[in-house]
Amino acid sequence: MALRDNKIVLMGLGIALAWWILESAIHVVVFGDSTFIQQMFSPGTHELWMRTLTFAIIITFSISAQILFNGQKHAQEELIKYHDHLQELVAMRTAELTEINENLRQEIAKRKRVEEALLKKQQDLETAYEEITVTGEELHRNYDELSKKEQALRQSEEKFHAMADFTYDWEYWQGPDKSLIYISPSCECLTGYTQQEFLVDPQLLLEIIHPDDRTFVVEHNSYAWGHPQTPLSVDFRIIRRDGTVRWIAHTCQQITGPDGKHSGRRVSNRDITERKQAEEKLKRFNEELERRIKERTEQINASLEEKEVLLREIHHRVNNNLQILISLLTLQSRYITDEKTLTAIRESRNRIQAMALVHEKLYRSGNIAKIGLDEYVRFLGASLFQFYAIPKKEITFTTDIPDVFIDLNTAIPVGLILNELISNSLKHAFSNGRNGEISVAISRQDHSLTIIIKDTGMGIPQDFDWRNTGSLGLRLVISLVEQLDGSIELDRTAGTAFTIVVKEKE
């Protein structure tokens, strides 16, 4: 195996030996100065050196050729192995490339779709760019407007600071987290503490409040933060740095931005000590005044009670005197034989009875200043029915007078008017046993009374001039109506109906 692998070296060695022999033979033939054996084994120095050099070159060349040959052979074997491996790799790579090619085809299709989407997106972007260009112009205009507004806001803020810093009221702002953002310099005038002290220690706002007021101020603040839409006010006391107590009018309101977002709370405090002192003095004055008024009222009530007793006594005595007159007229009528005179005396008696009834009702009433017309008219009607001996089953008497009360000055003439007109109906409207109804309705509007007295009797003849009659009764009615600045109208369409409007006397 080793000889086969080194055959070129052996061949080179043979060539070198052949050359050595050939050189020795040529030297013997040419020069003839030695034998062949001598030249083979004992040449001269020059020949030995030349032969040795040539021998070495041939051997070296053979070895190099062997080495080169062996290397080429090994390389060829490696190349074959590499070729086989390369074929395997090519097969694997071909499969990979096939897969990659398929993937690439899919990727190309996908990218084509993406390119189409990108193209559409580009078109959309171009459209959006045009819109953005327009919007940019609007933004530029809005920016200019915003810059102007910002400048106006800055100027407004400077004005606010100028106003807040130099106002006498103590102002401060709190953020949404209840932190103290701003406090006006006037806080030092009201509290004795500087701006910086409040900003460093926000709890000082609570600590300077009078202990007796601190609880309800805390409750007020809690309520105010929970009700941002409502401005709230409260008065409380503070203790200044020098120990003096001052009254503060505290007003707070939640602040919201243009977007409706809560921005904090603004608080304004004003010194109202002088006002509170004045209120306290006024309170003491009012208490003293109320005490004096109460005393005076008690005195007046006592005097009024005395006067009321006297008035009741007067009404009672007037009623008694009128009853005496009625009794005298009744006694006198018993001795009068003339019918006209007797009628006049009886009518006078009834008129006096109407006046006496007013005093009697006032005397018996709980209110001696006013008389209730409903009860008075019903009682007056009953008295007249009894006087003229009219059965109630033949003629009915009704009233419609809801809660009308009048004083004495109006009640006397109204009573006389009612007495005359009811008496006329009883005397003239229902002759020959005629049945019917007499009704009285009285209503009030402001200071005027509307009185409607009607009956369903035969009525007053159309040719009778009732305004210019010689009858004392109707003349008395017209005169009393004129005294009360009133008017009287007659309706003869169905029986007799007088409508009277009078003003109450003051």
Q: Domain residue spans in the chain?
A: 2-160, 167-271, 369-503
Question: To the nearest whole percent, how much of the chain has pLDDT over 90?
Answer: 9
* Confidence check: pLDDT of 61 > 90: no
Select the more confidently predicted residue: 259 or 303.
259
> Same topology for domains 167-271 and 369-503, yes or no?
no
Instruction: Calculate the average pLDDT of the chain.
Output: 77
pLDDT digits (tens, 9 = 90+) for 154-191: 655 555 554 555 556 888 888 888 888 888 888 888 88
- What is the pLDDT, as a whole number, of residue 358? 64
Q: H or E stretch including 353?
A: helix 339-364
* Confidence check: pLDDT of 270 > 50: yes
Give the C-alpha separation, 372 to 362, whole Å: 9
pLDDT digits (tens, 9 = 90+) for 213-239: 999 889 888 888 877 667 888 899 999
- What is the pLDDT, as a whole number, of residue 320? 58
Tell me the fold of 167-271: Beta-Lactamase (3.30.450)
Domain at 369-503: CATH architecture: 2-Layer Sandwich (3.30)
Q: Which amino acid is at 401?
A: I
How does strand 436-445 pair with strand 487-491?
unpaired
Contact 216, 236 (CB under 8 A): yes
Select the more confidently predicted residue: 332 or 62.
62
pLDDT digits (tens, 9 = 90+) for 104-156: 788 778 878 877 877 787 777 777 667 766 666 676 677 677 767 666 556 55
Give the C-alpha separation, 425 to 460, whole Å: 10
CA distances for 214 relative to 169, 271, 272, angstroms: 21, 17, 18
CA nearest to 308, candidates 362, 357, 368 = 368
pLDDT digits (tens, 9 = 90+) for 296-310: 777 666 555 555 554
